[in-house]
Amino acid sequence: MTAAAVRTAVVPAAGLGTRFLPATKAVPKEMLTVVDRPSIQWVVEEAVAAGIDDIVVVTSPHKKPLDDHFDRAVELELALEEEAKVDLLEKVQEVTGLARFRFTRQESPLGLGYAVSMAARQVGDEPFAVLLPDELLADGGQTLKQMIEVAESTGESVVALIETVGAEISNYGCAGYSSRDGDVVNIDRLIEKPAFEDAPSNLRITGRYVLTPEIFDKLARTEPGRGGEIQLTDAMAMQIDDRGMRGLVIDDIGFDTGQKTDWLRANVELSLRTDDSLAIVAMLKAVLESNGF
């Protein structure tokens, strides 16, 4: 079965960001800078590179900077124009022009599944992507593009998966599968944080999904699970029997910027991909040497 084109991406950004406190007390974790832009902008750029032009951001009442970042900044733009700071003006305007942005509020942090369900009205009856903004792939949209191709050709939901080592799987959503064709698996089970001995595979779910719209009915019927949260994995597990589900196995998870050391790694590695890379290498060497490494 083939499906409608995937045009919309949902970016859930209403979590509390507790792993990054106190930095995230007043600043949303999705606004923490990676190199020269907030992490959420990296993810929006990834979606746009994969061909998506409509972004629905799920925020919470305390996360106004997210709206502001993607909105016009008229006074700033006028000031930059008057000072003829053309490059900076372009950078500011580029953010707003990346896509069509819509915002929806999640009043209480009831989990990722609940956040996704908040976007039902904006998404409508079409397949859509979900990108977690604290996982940066920084791959120019390649993974998402491939996932969209699989979703559009099969009519099924697709989730990106990555191999884990040993007991690591117990920290994640795990996907069991019945068959594999290259990088694509036919998922037959999804289990949230299984005990190592119960895990049906070593493949864990990552923060990239392409979902068919029936997921909204499943989410409405999903009881709160672990920690009183509505788990997206539980609703997806209900979709498997009805419609089937694929997994795309990827080999690089990118960066978990909701976690302190990986946020730092993202800054170092991604800054090495910029025009300033030589200066950054020299700076890193000097810092290491002067600290006795």
Q: Which residues bind ligand UTP (CB under 6 A)?
A: 12-19, 29-30, 58, 106, 109-112, 114-115, 132-134, 258
Q: Which is nearer to ligand UTP, 80 or 230 (CB)?
A: 230
Tokens of 4: 């409608």
φ and ψ of 272, to 5 deg? -70, -10
Question: Residues 6 or more apart from 164 whose CB is under 8 A from it?
Answer: 172, 202, 203, 204
Residue nearest to ligand UTP (CB): 15
| Residue 229 Cβ vs ligand UTP, minimum distance, rounded to whole Å | 6
Nearer to ligand UTP, 154 or 231 (CB): 231
Task: Determine the number of helices (DSSP H) and then strands (DSSP E) in the chain.
Answer: 11, 13
Name which of 8 and 106 has its Cβ closer to ligand UTP.
106
As a whole number of angstroms, the distance between CA 132 and CA 10 comes to 9
């003006």: which residue's tokens?
A: 89
Beta bridge partners of 113: none
- Dist. CA 277–CA 258, nearest whole Å: 24
Q: How far apart are CA 240 and CA 257, in angstroms?
A: 30
CB burial of residue 172 (10 Å; 0-12, 13-18, 19+): buried
- Contact between 12 and 112 (Cβ < 8 Å): yes
Asked if residue 185 lies in contact with residue 174, where contact means CB atoms within 8 angstroms, the answer is: no
- Pairing mode of beta strands 245-249, 173-181: unpaired
Of 194 and 258, which CB lies nearer to ligand UTP in the complex structure? Answer: 258
Q: How far is the CB of 280 from ligand UTP (least distance, A)?
A: 27
Nearer Cβ to ligand UTP (92/110): 110
Kindly state the smallest distance separating residue 256's Cβ from ligand UTP, in Å.
8
CB of 112 to ligand UTP, least distance (A): 5
**Nearest residue (CB) to ligand UTP, 106 versus 206:** 106
Least distance CB 164 / ligand UTP (angstroms): 17
The distance of closest approach from Cβ of residue 12 to ligand UTP in the complex, given in angstroms and rounded to an integer, is: 3
Least spacing, CB of residue 177 vs ligand UTP, in Å: 24
Nearer to ligand UTP among residue 100 and residue 105 (C-beta): 105
